[in-house]
Chain A
Amino acid sequence: MKAFVITNAERIWLLLLALTAAGAWLGETGERGWALTLTVACLIAFKGRLVIDHYMEMRDASPTIRRLLYAFVVVVAVLVLLSHRFGDVLARATAQLIA
């Protein structure tokens, strides 16, 4: 029988599962604060990049598509940080939408 070989695909998959488990643990124990927000922003950017680079194989693909995909996860991660710090500003700016 052919031995099961651990390749890069398995390593990335296991890393993604481990990071997800860590996120779930945070979900059960974490309290609102900068530490949780910063960790979540980093997890979104890092896990997103792992999928983009290794699942979608974008590292040697079209730079335009690759950069747009990177931009998506980075923009969302930055918005997570900004919404934590400037939530009140966003609430005032959008007050008419909610009223």
Chain B
Amino acid sequence: MSATAAIDVSTATGRIPGNNGIWVGIFCVLVEFLLLFGVYFIAKAHYPEAFRTGPDKLATVAGTTITFLLLTSGYCMVKAVAAIRRDRRRATLAWVVGAMLLGLGYPLVKFFEIRWNMAHGIDGETGIFYTTYYYLTLNHLVHVSWGILGLGWVAVRTGLGVYSADDYSGLEAAAVYWHTTDVIWLVIFPFFYVLR
């Protein structure tokens, strides 16, 4: 499928941002996380007390910082798409690199968060709440890693001048995938740091 054809999909059924293929991947990821959320709800139903007290021992500041990083990185990709639509390629590159650097902050914060957890005796076997927490958050980190790799690929291609105002479907596909990881994190964050 040509990239140009993909961004020209604008019919009575509405425009498809990015390309068709990325949406297959996005909905696979969303279904996967719905199943993982099912694990969370079932575990919580069986051990309500563990889920009531569990968040108290986690570093809320770490979860909040990750949320800020992801939302700000997502904002950068919104600006990158807006810039390429105006054919401002240097600005596009700057926004994509900014998004990627902010995205890289996520695994960095996660590293320090896990180190902090370990120092406070919280590992995957501390209890059902923490097992579920590691299960979901590390799974999300894996999907974010694909997104960061995607942003790196898009940054290189932007630098090479591949994208233009007439053809930017690859850049937009990376952007919508990246925003999907935001949507999922906006569920995971309250599950483990806010909800009791």
Contact = CB atoms under 8 A, between A and B. Distances in A.
Grouping DSSP codes into helix (H, G, I), strand (E, B) and loop, the A interface class, with mixed when no group exceeds half, is helix
Contacts of B78: 9, 13, 54-55
B190 interface: yes
Interface stretch (B65-73, B115-123, B132-140): B65-73
Interface in A59-99: 60-66, 68-69, 72-73, 75-76, 79-80, 83, 87-88, 90-91, 94, 97-98
B75 A13 contact: yes
B15 A31 contact: no
Given A61-B14, A80-B195, A94 B190 contact: no
Nearest to A56: B179
A44 B186 CA distance: 6
B193 A48 contact: no
Nearest to B195: A40
Nearest to B30: A72
A71 to B, nearest CB: 10
A98 B183 contact: no
B41 A55 contact: no
Nearest to A43: B190
Contacts of A66: 14
A25 to B, nearest CB: 9
Contact of A87 (B37, B45, B193): B45
Given A9-B79, A76-B37, A47 B186 contact: yes
A55 B34 contact: no
A36 B27 contact: no
Given A48-B187, A55-B182, A72-B34, A90 B68 contact: no
A30 B194 contact: yes
Interface of A: 9-10, 12-13, 16-17, 20-21, 23-24, 26-28, 30-33, 36-37, 40, 43-44, 47-48, 51-52, 54-58, 60-66, 68-69, 72-73, 75-76, 79-80, 83, 87-88, 90-91, 94, 97-98
15 contacts: A13-B71, A20-B68, A20-B189, A23-B193, A23-B194, A31-B196, A33-B196, A37-B195, A43-B190, A48-B186, A60-B14, A60-B15, A65-B16, A75-B34, A79-B41
Interface of B: 13-17, 23, 27, 30, 34, 37, 41-42, 44-46, 48, 52, 55, 60-61, 63-64, 67-68, 71-72, 74-75, 77-79, 81-82, 175-176, 179-180, 182-183, 186-187, 189-190, 193-196
Which 4 A-B pairs rank lowest in CB-CB distance, beginning with the nearest? A32-B196, A62-B14, A27-B194, A90-B45
